Structures are given as C-alpha cells and as structure tokens.
Amino acid sequence: MSTDVSADRIPIKLRAEALEQLLVERGLVDPNVMDSFIKTYEKDVGPLNGAKVVAKAWTDPEFKARLLENGTTAVAELGFKGPQGEHIVVVENTDTVHNVVVCTLCSCYPWPLLGLPPTWYKDPAYRARVVKEPRTVLAEMGLTLPESTEVTVWDSSSEVRFFVLPQRPAASEGMSEEELVAIVSRDAMVGVAIVGA
C-alpha cells in the first residue's frame, strides 16, 4: 500500500477541490459543516479573544492572579475554551523578562485565544531559528531587546498551549478596559512584539 502522495504535482487548489468532491459525493463530508468550520475561525475565534483576556488582566488584579495561577480556568470565565485550548499556561512579560512562543515541530497555537496561527508563526525560518537565536530573530522581526532582559522561549511540544501576557504600556494609564482591548496586538500575545499605546 502506498501512503505517500503521488509525485505528480497538481495545483494545490485543484487538489483540495478534487478531494472535497470525492468525499462529498460519497456522503462522507457535508460542505455546510466545512463552511461552519471556516466561518468559525474567520469570524468568531481570533485574537480579539486574547486581547479581552489581556485587558481584563491589566485592569483586574484578582483576575490576573487567577490567570497566572491557572490559565485554562481563568480564560474559561470569559467563555474561551475549545480545540487547542485544553490546558493553557499564561506567562507574563515584565521589565526584566520577555517570553516568546513557538512550535518547532508543527505550529501548535492557542486557538481559543488567538484563532489560527499567522503566516510568520508557521514560517520554517521562525520555527527553526527562534529556539536557537531568539534575540536575533526578534530583532529581525522588529523587536530589539536590551541585553539585560531575560529571554525565555517556549517550544510547544505537548498539548499545553502557552500564551504571553504582554506588559501594559505606561501611556495607557487611564484607558478603559474596552480601550485597552483595542491596543493589544496578536503578535504581542505570542511575544514577537510589544504593546504600544
């Protein structure tokens, strides 16, 4: 039995259409179910969820304490759970510590909080290099850290999903939780950027 795909290369778009057609005509796949999966991750589950978690942690010290103690149950308080969110560990960036997340083996990512991973996260250069020279990689991506900052790289190899709690910018003092949600970027919640006000 062959388990390797054919060496004959077919354009990937056509390949996806052919497979869908084969499975749909045998009743194995319902195109409406496919549409609902796609819509869920295009519309409902994305980095806005994570931004709500961050803004709440910045404005509610008790929530922040629960979040760092048990990320999974704390984010569930806001209704965030589901595939790729079985166990969430939240790591906090501070004046002295910078955390950054990767999955070198595939592209594991906390879907319930951030949605599906962006292209840069899935890029072989990021996967290969951020575990070996994170300061250089972050600088290439636009984030130069002082030599005095402790850098910790989290390589997601089990079903634990890591989520970075970025530092609240000083200039955001006085902003409401809702206003804070709007300034939290996806990339800061993975640790390749910081939040500017």
Q: Is 96 in the site for other proteins (CB under 8 A)?
A: no
Report the residue from 107, 167, 169, 172 that binds other proteins according to the rule CB under 8 A: 107
Closer residue to other proteins (CB): 64 or 104 = 104
Report the residue from 2, 62, 146, 173 that binds other proteins according to the rule CB under 8 A: 2
Residues 194 and 145: their CA atoms lie apart, in Å, by 10
Considering only residues 115 through 144, tell me which ones interact with other proteins, judged by CB under 8 A.
115-120, 122-137, 140-142
Report the residue from 48, 68, 160, 194 that binds other proteins according to the rule CB under 8 A: 160
Closer residue to other proteins (CB): 95 or 173 = 95
Catalytic one among 2, 6, 36, 106?
106
Q: Is 20 in the site for other proteins (CB under 8 A)?
A: yes
Residue 136 near residue 129 (C-beta atoms within 8 A): yes
Residue 154 near residue 91 (C-beta atoms within 8 A): yes
C-beta of 177: minimal distance to other proteins in Å? 21
Residues 160-179 as b or e (16 or more Cβ within 10 Å = b): ebbbbbbbbeeebeebeeee
Closest CA to 163 of 95, 68, 58, 82: 68
Q: How far is CA 177 from the centre of its chain?
A: 21
Catalytic residues: 103, 106-108
